[in-house]
Structure 1
Amino acid sequence: MTSFRNALRGNAFRSVFQFLDAHWRRQPARLAFIITAVLVSTTADVLTPLYSGRLVDAVARGAATDEVAWNAAIAAFLTLLALSGGAIVMRHIAFMGIIDLTLKMMSEIAADTFHRVQRFSTDWHANSFAGSTVRKITRGIWALDLLNDTLLVALLPSAVMLVGSALLLGWYWPTMGLIVAAGSIVYVALTVTLSLGYVAPAASLANAWDTRLGGALADAVSCNAVVKAFGAEGREDARLSRVIGKWRHRTRRTWVRGTINGTTQGAIMLVLRAAVIGFAVFLWSGGQATAGDIAFVLTAFFVLQGYLRDVGMHVRNVQRSVNDMEELVDIHSQPLGVEDVAGAQPIAIEEGSIEFENVTFHYVGHATPLYRDFSLSIRPGERVGLVGHSGSGKTTFVKLIQRLYDVTSGRILIDGQDIARVAQASLRSQVAIVQQEPILFHRSLAENIAYARPGASMAEIEEAARLASAHDFITALPKGYATLVGERGVKLSGGERQRVAIARAFLADAPVLIFDEATSSLDSESEVLIQEAMERLMVGRTTLVIAHRLSTVRALDRLLVFDRGRIVEEGDHVQLVRREGGIYRRLFERQALELTKGFA
């Protein structure tokens, strides 16, 4: 089990660094510029202890009146100033470069991820919390900021300082160089091992619960109306408390392991300090080192110690950044589900004929197909009603036409064009749909209506609203068409949201129309007005109407009665209502009886 977890951890690091490398390669010149600046500034730090030692030797050699000692001291002093000034300038240049590098990467990754999430399949969105998805993206791009800083302006200088100091000290005293090199390698190796093998697994689990916490919060807040309707505030508090408890436990374990890791690093550093300083004193006692040499060794070690002490923090930052980024990277590794074929061209719909040719389709995870060898033709301009019990296949039928799912086999043609071979965006832009549960953006009413055609004029927006019987209630609002509707349109009633959605479909003026029980949320008076408007809109357009209230489909050209993915009855209202023992007739009689009881 441990080896399996380690393999997963290795895969996470590999995938994150491959992702990072791919984005670094988009800015090779800027990356090279940053690395060069970092190398130059760190080299200055490596040489600083050497000239500090020479300054001490010059001072110890004689009084200021000694010209040789004075010149040596001034030369060492000026060199130290030059090294320090150069390091500051080059470090500033490196940081300015990394600002531009990171911001460009963050912008590109945020845009690319949004682009990808928008194009994921309907199933993916149905199985994902919106709050969790947002959390993964925002946490991931900010982790990128920390990871870039850590690798380029923290760990890279540390590595240069380690190698440079070991070589420089080894040049003067090989044994000293060996002690510094060996001790530093042991320190870094143990730090990496503890961070990746001990802290990282706990941090990954803590992040998973952090994501769940974000999802639970978003789920409860977005459904607050339901919570209030059932007086369930206490129940939701208890549910969130359980999630917070798990999150707290996992996070505490991560922090405790990080603390143990830091203490272990401190102990190793103490041993290394004792070895270096002890050997320096030994060299001095044997006459093999001057006061300046001791100053050189001590300064070099304390500068190196600062870098090494920070290595532990940097490795932890890398580990934490990878943990925070792995869910973002995973989004980029997932298949879109429904993808455009290479070279897909826009579809051109003029007449609006629809053809299902031997279509077989089943949902992922379902062994039995919903549709098997399903064939059907819908003529241009035909108005077709889809009727049947819930789960009979009506909604899936229209989703297949929109290509929200790909068929398992067979083809769906519109005006003779296979919809699997054309660009999805062009297909859906020419299929207007009014959903049973209308969804609006937290934008103005005018923007929501114009979403179907962004370039529409205000006059066109208002005309679409009139056709949908929405103009009157909109103009009665204090800000009229500029009114913000709230998240998912929560500030409007169900009937108002439905009419705005219908107005949006009217404005689209698409050759193919889909109404998914478009009048279900309307009062009787508005329903009559909308049905009249729908009648006018349907003229000359291919129209599919999913209906549970059969009054909506009585005047349509043809009705298709679905049952378990098959069309079991077909005809107009009059033909089907006369069929003895038919499903449509049974549904119609049941609704008529309920209506009669309502008036009794």
Structure 2
Amino acid sequence: MAAASRGGAESFRSVLTFTFRHWRRQAPLVALVASAMLLSTLADVFMPVFAGRIVDAVALDGADKAAGLHKALWALGAMVGLGVLMAGLRYVGFAGISEMTLRIMTRVGQDAFWRIQRFSTDWHANNFAGSTVRKITRGMWALDLMDDTLLLSLLPSLVVLLGSTLLLGWHWPVMGLLVALGSIGYIALTVSLSILYVAPSARLANIWDTRLGGLLADAVSCISVVKGFGAEWREDARLASLLGKWRGRTYRSWMRGTSNSTLQTLVLLVLRVAVIGLVLWLWWQDRASPGDIAYVLTTFFLIQGYLRDIGLQVRNLQRSVNDMEELVAFHADPLGVADAPGARPIRIAAGGIVFDHVNFHYGKHETPLYSDLDVAIRPGERVGLVGHSGSGKTTFVKLIQRLYDLSGGRILIDGQDIADVTQASLRQQIAIVQQEPILFHRSLAENIAYGRPDASQGEIEHAARLANAHDFILRLPKGYGTLVGERGIKLSGGERQRVALARAFLADAPILILDEATASLDSVSEALIQEAMERLMQGRTTIVIAHRLSTVRTLDRILVFDRGRIMEEGTHGELVARERGIYRSLFERQAMDLAAGLQVA
């Protein structure tokens, strides 16, 4: 229980701190909303006073009846005036909070997206995209509930309770004390139950809600695999199992909220009986008139309504905190790689790359992948990276892109340390074509122009021609305006590769990285892509991650990696001629596999 209390209190503190930080950026609007709601609520506080005066006025009889009517009408006019004032002020408050909340939600969404895009590739590898989206959208809407609860509900409720208690205490101190103690006890009970009893179960329900979003997104994004293996029933069963756990956690959360609400109702019943009993005793002692009784009853029913609302508002506050805490947690996560203070844009002309005594290890791994690695790639040189899986090839190009920070040493491009330049400027001057190219669910023209969004239609089409993609694009129903589907699912593997090559052509970067772009393609697509790749490599510093050694035979130099070390380097001919060399062994094994495949065919 103590741990739950600390965890719940910490969540409330962190979320409220996050919310108030955004309020400070909208201080004038916050002040406007708070002032309008305060004045509006004060008008509500004085309504029972005039209701009591009407009762006293109509209680007059005989010669005083006309005077009583005058007093009653005057009190009624005051109530009408207060009502009109209250309506006008509430309109101002609601209009102000609408503008304020939308501004904050926009800022929060932008900030969260900004951070997520800059988290490390490891972070993204360990988090479902669907879950991440759900955390952001749920947190944004929870912020809307938070603002409404604090400014439109809790603030007026506290003003009514304080103002009404003071007015009652001014007439009858014992009545003011009773209402004050009862209200404080009710609020303390409500807050304690929300933090210690309801919040832990609601937090667990949200965790399963996030997992549900992740599972749905995972299955939908991989629907081609599901259908390919006829596994729809298996995914149905997987979802049913998760829904069962989600239903159980959510039901428990809801039932705890119901129990909390029931206990609050009973406490209000006890307070109501006490207040009514006390005012009747005051009347019996000739210390309260019929109008006073009407005033006390009207005031208490007003207080009771606001107290009941406070119970709901505290539950809403607790719910908004639970829904926001995962979004707030994004801001506690460190960025994967941060620009150095005063980082400047890099200027790459020739494209020479130098690894100078580079040390690197992943995360908390004790064993480094690279130790004192020295490599120099000349401007315009075409270099192949070869080795078994896990030998360090992919990490080599990721470090050039500065997707990770080094443990030691430095990487220079045209003599500039990439740790001292902005990441955006670095990556904008490095074109990469991945083995499994990823396209946005946008038009083909937008995908090709992603590296140069200001490119003209003519430049886009020229890049597509260079990538041997123009002809197949024209055969599509909407040509360059065709939407390619999520991750480019509407296109074949070869078509996606050619679009990715066109994107690299249009980017026209001085450094090019190719991650075996011809793997697993038919011979026609492979020939078209190979031809386009040869054009693309001309005049650029090129690094090719090779899985099939036939693709590196014409390169200027080949680096053979093994466990983070460069064991061999040279041209294809030099490495094949080396007795008992790693490259020769890999080449012979692939040649034997190819011969065996031809014999079977």
Tell me the TM-score normalized by structure 1: 0.98
Aligned pairs for 1:253-268 (under 5 A) are: 253-268=252-267
2:14 paired with 1:15: yes
Aligned pairs for 1:92-491 (under 5 A) are: 92-491=91-490
Aligned pairs for 1:505-544 (under 5 A) are: 505-544=504-543
Which residue identity is paired with 2:67? V
Kept after mapping to 2: 8 A contact 1:517/1:546: yes
2:587 paired with 1:588: yes
What is the CA distance between 1:524 and its match in structure 2?
A: 2.1
> Quick one: distance in 2 between partners of 1:526 and 1:136?
41
Secondary structure of 2:542's partner? strand
> Quick one: distance in 2 between partners of 1:580 and 1:63?
127
1:346-399 per-residue CA deviation (whole Å, 9 max, x = no partner) reads 100011010111111111132211111111111111110001111110000000
Range 362-371 or range 101-110, more displaced: 362-371
What is the CA distance between 1:532 and its match in structure 2?
A: 2.9
What is the CA distance between 1:599 and its match in structure 2?
A: 2.8
Kept after mapping to 1: 8 A contact 2:467/2:529: yes
Equivalent pairs, count? 599
1:89-116 per-residue CA deviation (whole Å, 9 max, x = no partner) reads 1111111110001010011111111111
What is the CA distance between 1:64 and its match in structure 2?
A: 8.6
Unpaired segments ≥5 residues, structure 2: none
- What RMSD in Å do the two structures reach over aligned CA positions? 1.2
1:192-244 per-residue CA deviation (whole Å, 9 max, x = no partner) reads 11111100000000000000111111111111111122222222122111211
Secondary structure of 1:498's partner? helix
Which residue identity is paired with 2:383? V
What is the CA distance between 1:593 and its match in structure 2?
A: 1.9
Kept after mapping to 2: 8 A contact 1:30/1:97: yes
> Quick one: distance in 1 between partners of 2:295 and 2:203?
43
What is the CA distance between 1:459 and its match in structure 2?
A: 1.5
User: Residues 64 and 423 (structure 1 numbering): CA distance in 2 closer, same or farther, change over 3 Å?
Assistant: farther
Kept after mapping to 1: 8 A contact 2:194/2:314: yes
Kept after mapping to 2: 8 A contact 1:183/1:272: yes
2:23 paired with 1:24: yes
What is the CA distance between 1:521 and its match in structure 2?
A: 4.0
Which residue identity is paired with 1:45? D
Kept after mapping to 1: 8 A contact 2:340/2:420: yes
> Quick one: distance in 1 between partners of 2:461 and 2:453?
14
What is the CA distance between 1:536 and its match in structure 2?
A: 2.7
Aligned to 1:53: 52
Secondary structure of 2:402's partner? coil
What is the CA distance between 1:65 and its match in structure 2?
A: 6.7
Kept after mapping to 2: 8 A contact 1:469/1:526: no
Kept after mapping to 2: 8 A contact 1:203/1:320: yes
2:567 paired with 1:568: yes
User: Residues 283 and 374 (structure 1 numbering): CA distance in 2 closer, same or farther, change over 3 Å?
Assistant: same
Range 69-78 or range 347-356, more displaced: 69-78
Aligned to 1:501: 500
Kept after mapping to 2: 8 A contact 1:498/1:521: no
Kept after mapping to 1: 8 A contact 2:58/2:65: no
Secondary structure of 2:230's partner? coil
Kept after mapping to 2: 8 A contact 1:498/1:522: no
1:142-183 per-residue CA deviation (whole Å, 9 max, x = no partner) reads 000111000001001110111111100000000000111111
Secondary structure of 2:25's partner? coil
Unpaired segments ≥5 residues, structure 1: none
Tell me the TM-score normalized by structure 2: 0.98
Secondary structure of 1:333's partner? coil
Which residue identity is paired with 2:231? A
- Among all aligned residue pairs of Structure 1 and Structure 2, give the percentage whose two residues are the same amino acid: 66
Aligned to 1:71: 70
Which residue identity is paired with 2:353? I
What is the CA distance between 1:595 and its match in structure 2?
A: 2.2
1:497-516 per-residue CA deviation (whole Å, 9 max, x = no partner) reads 11111111111100000000
What is the CA distance between 1:5 and its match in structure 2?
A: 2.6
> Quick one: distance in 2 between partners of 1:175 and 1:432?
79
1:14-36 per-residue CA deviation (whole Å, 9 max, x = no partner) reads 11011001100001111111111
Which residue identity is paired with 1:184? S
Kept after mapping to 2: 8 A contact 1:202/1:254: yes
Kept after mapping to 1: 8 A contact 2:47/2:82: yes
Which residue identity is paired with 1:390? S
Which residue identity is paired with 1:528? A
